[in-house]
Structure 1
Amino acid sequence: MNAPLDAGPTDPQDFGFLVGDWEVAHRRRTDFLDAGSAWAEFAATSRCWSLFDGAGNIDEMDVPGQGWMGLTLRLRDRASGLWSLHWSSSRSGRLFPPVIGGFTDGRGDFYGDDTYDGKDVRVRYVWSGISRDTARWEQAFSVDGEKSWVTNWVMEFTRRRVPASGTPAG
């Protein structure tokens, strides 16, 4: 499915909502390819900052209960207007292949190709439920040419409040 790539140019500020500090509630399948596998739940914090006047950003996620950190580099291609999202984890220290796409009507759809457990997978990221203080991200894999998807990771973002003293809450 190439619909997100055909959606046309997106706004360079599409990911502006993500800049700042967040609490993140994770739900992740214990087996990314098995829709019947159990969900593991854990918490994280995330901090995102803008690059290139909003045409890029980086977020760093700290997942202390799991013993790792992650980051996403997002860049908007100036020629096509599409975004490429590149994930990395302290567990591997490498960038995974990007997912590419854009936003339509407040929803971001991004697609790419990767491998998981030795199998070729089509990857889909969806950003939705976006407001000033909340956002939802989900990842799904397809092994059958996008006929079916297994949603295997969901993150619910809630903006961290900064008290009047200037130090983060909590």
Structure 2
Amino acid sequence: MNDFDFFTGAWDVVNRRLLKRDAGSDEWEEFPGRSVAHGFFGGAGSFDEITFPTKEFDGATVRVYDAARREWSLHWINSARGLDPVPVVGRFTDGVGVFYADDTDDGRPIRVRFTWSRITPESCRWEQAFSYDGESTWETNWIMDFTRVS
């Protein structure tokens, strides 16, 4: 519990997103974002909304802690597509949060990994990676570097 307390506040975000997934591409797009995060349930919940001024969508994440299982469920919401029905689930160990889910990418089964790291009072990083081969290899396809505004 309280693992996401560090995230409460407003953040400027530099996004780097891989243009083509699972294609051996090293071509990335970079775009700005602004995130505002709040905690709830005394630290057992976290919510943030992120705006992407140069994109056709915005997003939000709801995070809920299960005390009995000692793990978080993270639910992504895309303003254009709605709620992603598959949450990523995991926990923080030694200051790094790692969360997994089984999902699909363009109809192909994948393993999804979210990683929260580099957490300081003024910055943090989120990364999304997909595995198309049962976790033998991972391809990072989206990186968000956050810098605190307030």
From 106, 121, 128, the equivalent of 1:139 is 128
Q: Paired residue for 1:55, among 23, 30, 44?
A: 44
Does 1:117 pair with 2:106? yes
Question: Taking structure 2 as the reference length, what is the TM-score of the superposition?
Answer: 0.96
Within 1, Cα distance between the matches of 2:109 and 2:82? 21
For 1:18, the equivalent position in structure 2 comes to: 7
User: How many angstroms does 1:35 deviate by?
Assistant: 3.8
Figure out how many residues of one structure are paired with residues of the other and give that number. Answer: 150
Q: Which residue of 2 aligns with 1:85?
A: 74
Which residue does the alignment assign to 1:168?
A: none
Taking every aligned residue pair, what percent have the same amino acid on both sides?
47
Q: Per-residue displacement from partner, 1:5-24 (whole Å, max 9, x unpaired)? A: xxxxxxx1100000100000
Give secondary structure in 2 for the equivalent of 1:33.
coil
TM-score by length of 1: 0.85
Deviation string for 1:31-52 (max 9, x for gaps)? 2223424101000000000110
Q: What's the RMSD between the two structures over aligned residues? A: 1.0
The ranges of structure 1 where at least 4 consecutive aligned residues each deviate by more than 4 angstroms after the TM superposition are none
CA distance in 2, matches of 1:35, 1:89: 26
Residue type of the alignment partner of 1:30: L
Which runs of 5 or more residues in structure 2 are unaligned?
none
